[in-house]
Structure 1
């Protein structure tokens, strides 16, 4: 099975660093919208595909724009929400990385399905600051779920730290922030 990890398009939280990291619920920028549209030619989606999306507005918008008009399954999961990489002890989630509530996702993205297997705690806090051993257990569970979908390819729209955390776990290699994908950059991993 191929897992295609795609970073969301440019978000408002990146325009005036470090101050913009304190923006709550940042959307895609105009450039981010263009990047999301360009995914249509790079990765044409079909109705048979599954797209799994982080419960953060910029990731949801990227998936919505990219898959517009296609009846593919769009599943929102906190298991691919933002993750600090590398994780630092006593890290705090910044306002730009706070998860949208399930109610807000239902209202703003009505065609998306919410992951019902994840705990309420994950839906509130996500995986941003959980210890590495907990992340590994959740990553293993998530990847096993992906395998059970019996699909040749699964698309995952997420964040630079999250993608790098999953890559490090799957590849068994030590990675760094230098390995982060750019906006709408991607990595294809066979699992």
Structure 2
């Protein structure tokens, strides 16, 4: 199975740093919207494809613009929510990385569905500041769920730290912030 991890387009949280990091649920910028639309050319989808999406506005907007007009499955899951990388002790989740409330997701993005596999605690807290052991357990659960789908490839719209954490877990290689994907950059990993 190939996992194709895609970083979301440019978000409003990247402008006017560090103050912009304190904005809750920042949207894509105009540039980010254009980046997301261009994914249609570089990563064309079919109706058989599945796209897992982090429950933040910028990732869901990226997926919505990329999948527009394509009736593939779009599943929002906290298994690909923001992840601090590297994990720093005594840090907390910034407002820009707080997940959207579950009850608002389907109202705002009605063509999406919610993943019913994650534990409720993961929906409430995500794993931004979870220990490496906790992240590894959740990530392995997600990968096992993906394997059960019996697809040749699965797409995942997520965040730089999350993508790098999964890449490190799957490859067994030590990665750093220098390995972060740029906006709408993608990595294909065989798992």
- Please, which moves more after superposition, 26-35 or 138-147? 138-147
Q: Distance in 2 between matches of 1:72 and 1:155?
A: 11
Q: Distance in 2 between matches of 1:160 and 1:53?
A: 13
Residues 3-18 of structure 1: pairs in structure 2 closer than 5 A? 3-18=3-18
Residue in 1 aligned with 2:142? 142
1:60 has 2:70 as partner? no
Q: Distance in 1 between matches of 2:182 and 2:19?
A: 20
Deviation per residue, 1:22-55 (Å, 9 max, x gap): 1111000000000000000000011000000000
1:29 has 2:29 as partner? yes
How far residue 177 of structure 1 moved from its aligned partner, in angstroms, is 0.4
Residue in 2 aligned with 1:49? 49
Residue in 1 aligned with 2:162? 162
How far residue 120 of structure 1 moved from its aligned partner, in angstroms, is 1.7
Question: Secondary structure of 1:142's partner?
Answer: helix
Moved segments of 4+, more than 3 Å:
none
- Please, which moves more after superposition, 115-124 or 170-179? 115-124
Q: Which runs of 5+ in 1 are unaligned?
A: none
Give the aligned length.
Answer: 191
CA RMSD for the aligned pairs? 0.6
Q: Which runs of 5+ in 2 are unaligned?
A: none
Q: Distance in 2 between matches of 1:148 and 1:174?
A: 28
Deviation per residue, 1:84-105 (Å, 9 max, x gap): 0000111100000000011110
How far residue 124 of structure 1 moved from its aligned partner, in angstroms, is 1.3
**Structure 1 length-normalised TM:** 0.99
Q: Distance in 2 between matches of 1:146 and 1:116?
A: 13
Residues 148-187 of structure 1: pairs in structure 2 closer than 5 A? 148-187=148-187
Q: Distance in 2 between matches of 1:82 and 1:156?
A: 12
Residue in 2 aligned with 1:123? 123
**Structure 2 length-normalised TM:** 0.99
Q: Distance in 1 between matches of 2:133 and 2:120?
A: 20
